[in-house]
Amino acid sequence: MRVIFGGMLAGLAAFFVVGTCQAQEFSNSSNDVAQIGFSTGIFNIGSDESAAEMRLDYRDDHALFGVLRPIGGVMVTSDKAVHGYGGLMADLLWGDHFATSFYSSVGAYHDGDGEDLGHWIEFRSGVEVAYRFDNKSRVGLGFAHISNADIGDTNPGAEVLSLTYTVPVSAIFN
């Protein structure tokens, strides 16, 4: 799994290098809107302590540096673990109907009855590939890694596979 995560980080780095040259294809595009995301999946894949994951996040539409958007949310698991987080994300829009999102965040983690990840501060980084509907809602498959970046005595980390549905904020509150 660490090899997969390393590959994701390398891809993310390449994404940002290309993005600085072609920022008009990213999240500051007129095709992007603020979104609320609802996710469900498997937390700690491949472990004896895997659990169901549910997540709610907010994805802002105000781009920083023309590419990065704020993201914040909360994850809970069936083992009563909770992770509240905030960070930055970037979208690569592929035509009208496909998007790849990359994000990195930091937040507070409580293990509940689940996996002890070694510290109460945990970093979450991930990638999501989604289909965009005409109304700008999305359905996507995501992969994330949660880790304390070795600030704790142990750093077992956890991988998360999730299915996400995002809906424009304007569709909820208008």
Which tens digit of pLDDT belongs to each residue from 112-132? 999 999 999 999 999 999 999
Q: How many residues does this entry show for the chain?
A: 174
Encode pLDDT of 31-58 as tens digits.
Answer: 478 999 999 999 999 888 899 999 999 9
Q: List CB contacts of 2: < 8 A, sequence separation 6 or more.
A: 157
Q: Is 3 left (phi over 0), alpha (psi -120 to 50) or beta?
A: alpha
- What's the CATH code, domain 2-173? 2.40.160.20
Domain ranges in the chain are 2-173
d(CA 158, CA 92): 25
Q: What is the DSSP string of 49-84?
A: T-EEEEEEEEE-S--BTTTBEEEEEEEEETT--EEE
Query: Which pLDDT value is given to residue 172?
Result: 87
* Count of alpha carbons within 13 angstroms of residue 113, beta-carbon side: 6
Does the pLDDT at position 17 exceed 80? no
Query: Which pLDDT value is given to residue 9?
Result: 44
Q: List CB contacts of 109: < 8 A, sequence separation 6 or more.
A: 81, 82, 83, 117, 119, 120, 121, 122, 146
At 64, is the pLDDT very low, low, confident or very high (cuts 50, 70, 90)? confident
Query: Which pLDDT value is given to residue 141?
Result: 98
At 95, is the pLDDT very low, low, confident or very high (cuts 50, 70, 90)? confident
